[in-house]
């Protein structure tokens, strides 16, 4: 099922783009002469090496046991029934006065002996790699880019050329440590000056983080960037996949029409980019090729399988012929994979579905990321989630879009003599593999046909909400809570992702946005006897609490990751799991019904991800200058109702804020 209630929220308000291009660069956008020299190879230069701050980053703190238990009890209160809450309180008390302190001490000791990383990093990676469910829907998200503001650059192969060019430039900038470090600037008037950069270059590396912080700039962990390029998740029949990253890759793999092509993007000798004219020629030749004659379904469908099944099939595939071995190695070692999608999605829901799942055949979900370009110029990044979180990918996507509209040019000719670096990759499918491919297609279709994808837009803007001096993320989260309660009349386990990238090897923390304060606000909103003033007060209290939780989470002071680590310690020591982990209440809290994530960026049209279970709603949302957008996916038949209620609830919240503002 696919439906959209609005045209693109950018088009709705007359926006063709949201990145302002300086007047001095307008001529360049329409130029047909690519830059040469060092400017053609790198995004930018920096005197601060990319990983300058990595060694000096603070380590992710382990919260105090009492703090975590108190946070947990507060988080379960609005979700559990009275009897379940009492049972949970008893279990928490028993844990606190029983094995809990021992597990806490063991965790601290283990962390101290692994000072090179965070206490959660290894276990969190294993959690991903040990999950045997298919990657598609369950894990891989997608981020849809805005269109290029120059219409000529949105043709199929021209857009692909632009985005591949900028991605290669990003890779070269990162690989040569010219990429500016990730910094959170609290005093940009000081820290975005040459004096600050020069200071950071001179200060000893082990003190670099402290030096930057003294100026009001806080470095973020960049360890995940090492898996952004030339990386792949390989299925294993041992019950745990493995990540593999290759060095010195100079090619990409392009998929189109169930065919694979090896495309050289860096010169084998010099390492220089082959150029936009050569790249466009190769892509044009690929688009001209006929469909795969062996099968109507591509080998990419294998990557949609259960991981154990795919592990077995991959071994069979490799053993079938040397061609197949070459194909796998070429894909695995490629800098990245490009998918040329014949379908040109128009509606927002169709765009989300196309880039999130597609038809399965023309994707390779195991790669660290796929750059997908549709025939109408729409483009997105679909990425495998085990190796990293949103911070690294979002940095890449933002740099990708901005560079592609400012640097790339309209190539006015395509020279077939330049296609020598394009090599078709053939593969063999025996009877058994053809049967496996058929089963993969059947299973894939079974899952995706049940998936509802919704996209809704509200004209309420970030500026309109910000004028009330209230957090926009909190407002969006309260809209989600209100919408769900209106549909189901209950509060449920809610997940919002918060980054702990301020710490070495930080990953994410769960932000439990269904709070007591949120529940109180929602109840008042649906009560016709409550005044607008009382509703406004409850809204402020709920959003203030959400802000406190956000601050705690990004500072490593949430409770979910800590409890997860304590459970892992019990398993490592063969200690019977305490009741705090085995009660029905634990299952209720761990079964996420509202899986949410903010995907705001001025360069992203939308973003989406799949539900994490059959009862879950996956809700990606963003609020920018044009308005607010919710991307929703779910196996539930009432997904469209919830989508409508999200827009209604956001509007109701704005009315409450506006009414109180007039009174003041």
DSSP 648-662: HHHHHHHHHHHHHHH
Instruction: Note the pLDDT tens digit of each residue in 524-547.
Output: 999 999 999 999 999 999 999 999
In a domain, 188, yes or no: no
What's the confidence (pLDDT) of residue 415?
60
Q: Which of 419, 450, 481 is the last residue of a domain?
A: 450
State the Cα–Cα distance between residues 487 and 615, nearest whole angstrom. 14
In a domain, 443, yes or no: yes
Cβ neighbours around 467 below 10 Å, total: 12
The rounded percent of the chain whose pLDDT value lies above 70 is 92
412 and 502 part of one domain:
no
What's the confidence (pLDDT) of residue 20?
36
What's the confidence (pLDDT) of residue 28?
41
What is the per-residue burial (b if ≥16 Cβ within 10 Å, else e) of 555-569?
bbbbbbbbbbbbbbb
What's the confidence (pLDDT) of residue 61?
98
State the Cα–Cα distance between residues 640 and 660, nearest whole angstrom. 31
500 and 626 part of one domain:
yes
In a domain, 352, yes or no: yes
Q: Is 146 helix (H, G, I), strand (E, B) or coil?
A: coil
410 and 466 part of one domain:
no
Q: Could you give the residue numbers annotated as active site? A: 385
Which CATH number covers residue 501?
A: 3.30.559.10
474 and 357 part of one domain:
no
437 and 519 part of one domain:
no
Closest C-alpha to 229, from 170, 296, 154 = 170
Distances, alpha carbon 394 to alpha carbons 46, 141, 182, 399, 556, in Å: 20, 12, 11, 8, 21
In a domain, 19, yes or no: yes
In a domain, 186, yes or no: no
In a domain, 436, yes or no: yes
Looking at the whole model, is its pTM more than 0.85? yes
150 and 250 part of one domain:
yes
In a domain, 7, yes or no: yes
Question: Which stretches of the chain score pLDDT less than 50?
Answer: 1-32
Which CATH number covers residue 257?
A: 3.30.559.70
432 and 546 part of one domain:
no
Q: Which of 450, 474, 500 is the last residue of a domain?
A: 450
494 forms beta bridges with: 594
Number of domains in the chain: 2
Give the residue numbers spanning the domain of 645.
1-30+452-557+591-664
260 and 276 part of one domain:
yes
527 and 479 part of one domain:
yes
HSE of 21, CA atoms in CB hemisphere, 13 A: 20
Instruction: Note the pLDDT tens digit of each residue in 456-489.
Output: 999 999 999 999 999 999 999 999 999 999 999 9
Q: Which of 428, 450, 472 is the last residue of a domain?
A: 450
Angle between helices 560-572 and 100-112 in degrees, nearest 10: 90
478 and 410 part of one domain:
no
438 and 462 part of one domain:
no
Give Cα 378 distance to the centre of its chain: 18
Q: How many residues does the chain have?
A: 664
514 and 390 part of one domain:
no
In a domain, 324, yes or no: yes
């Amino acid at each position: 099922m696919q439906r959209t209630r609005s045209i693109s929220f950018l088009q709705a308000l007359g926006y063709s783009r949201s990145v302002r291009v300086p007047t001095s660069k307008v001529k360049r956008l329409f130029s047909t002469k690519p830059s040469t020299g060092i400017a053609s190879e790198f995004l930018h230069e920096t005197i601060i090496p990319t990983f300058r701050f990595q060694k000096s980053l603070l380590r992710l703190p382990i919260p105090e046991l009492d703090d975590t238990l108190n946070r947990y009890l507060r988080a379960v209160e609005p979700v559990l029934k009275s009897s379940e809450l009492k049972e949970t309180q008893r279990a928490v008390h028993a844990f606190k006065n029983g094995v809990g302190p021992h597990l806490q001490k063991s965790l601290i000791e283990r962390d101290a002996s692994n000072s090179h990383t965070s206490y959660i990093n290894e276990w969190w990676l294993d959690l991903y790699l040990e999950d045997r469910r298919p990657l598609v829907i369950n894990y891989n998200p997608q981020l849809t880019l805005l269109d290029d503001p120059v219409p000529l650059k949105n043709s199929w192969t021209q857009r692909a050329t632009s985005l591949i060019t900028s991605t290669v430039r990003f890779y070269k900038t990162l690989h040569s440590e010219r990429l500016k470090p990730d910094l959170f600037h609290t005093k940009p008037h000081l820290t975005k000056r040459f004096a600050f950069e020069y200071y950071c270059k001179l200060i000893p590396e082990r003190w670099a983080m402290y030096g930057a912080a003294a100026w009001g700039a806080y470095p973020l962990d960049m360890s995940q960037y090492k898996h952004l390029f030339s990386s792949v998740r390989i299925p294993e029949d041992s019950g745990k996949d493995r990540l593999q990253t290759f060095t010195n890759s100079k090619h990409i793999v392009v998929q189109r029409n169930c065919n694979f092509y090896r495309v050289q993007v860096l010169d084998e000798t010099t390492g220089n980019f082959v150029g936009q004219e050569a790249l466009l020629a190769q892509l044009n030749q690929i688009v001209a090729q006929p469909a795969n004659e062996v099968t109507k379904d591509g080998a990419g469908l294998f990557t949609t399988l259960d991981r154990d099944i795919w592990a077995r099939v991959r071994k069979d595939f490799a053993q079938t012929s040397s061609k197949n071995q070459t194909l796998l190695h070429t894909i695995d070692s490629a800098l990245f994979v490009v998918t040329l999608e014949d379908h040109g999605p128009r509606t927002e829901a169709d765009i989300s579905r196309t880039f999130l799942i597609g038809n399965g055949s023309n994707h390779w979900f195991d790669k660290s990321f796929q750059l997908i370009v549709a025939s109408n110029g729409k483009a997105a990044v679909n990425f495998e989630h085990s190796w990293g979180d949103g911070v690294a990918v979002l940095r890449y996507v933002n740099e990708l879009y901005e560079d592609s509209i400012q640097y790339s040019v309209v190539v006015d000719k395509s020279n077939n003599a330049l296609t020598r670096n394009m090599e078709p990759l053939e593969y063999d499918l025996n009877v058994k593999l053809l049967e496996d491919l058929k089963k993969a297609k059947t299973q894939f279709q079974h899952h995706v046909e049940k998936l509802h994808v919704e996209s809704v837009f509200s004209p309420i803007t970030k500026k309109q909400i910000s004028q009330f001096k209230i957090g926009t993320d909190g407002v969006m989260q309260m809209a989600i809570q209100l919408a769900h309660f209106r549909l189901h009349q209950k509060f449920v386990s809610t997940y919002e992702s918060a980054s702990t990238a301020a710490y070495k090897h930080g990953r994410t923390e769960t932000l439990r946005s269904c709070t007591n304060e949120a529940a109180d606000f929602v109840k008042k909103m649906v009560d016709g006897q409550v005044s607008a003033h009382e509703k406004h007060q409850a809204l402020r209290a709920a959003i203030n609490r959400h802000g406190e939780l956000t601050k705690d989470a990004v500072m490593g002071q949430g409770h979910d990751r800590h409890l997860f680590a304590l459970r892992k310690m019990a398993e490592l020591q063969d200690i019977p799991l305490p009741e705090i982990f085995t009660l029905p209440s634990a299952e209720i809290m761990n079964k996420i019904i509202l899986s949410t994530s903010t995907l705001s960026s001025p360069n992203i049209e939308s973003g989406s991800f799949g539900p994490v279970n059959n009862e879950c709603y996956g809700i990606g949302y963003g609020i920018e200058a044009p308005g607010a957008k919710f991307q929703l996916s779910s196996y539930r038949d009432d997904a469209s109702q919830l989508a409508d209620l999200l827009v209604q609830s956001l509007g109701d919240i704005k009315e409450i804020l506006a009414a109180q503002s007039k009174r003041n």
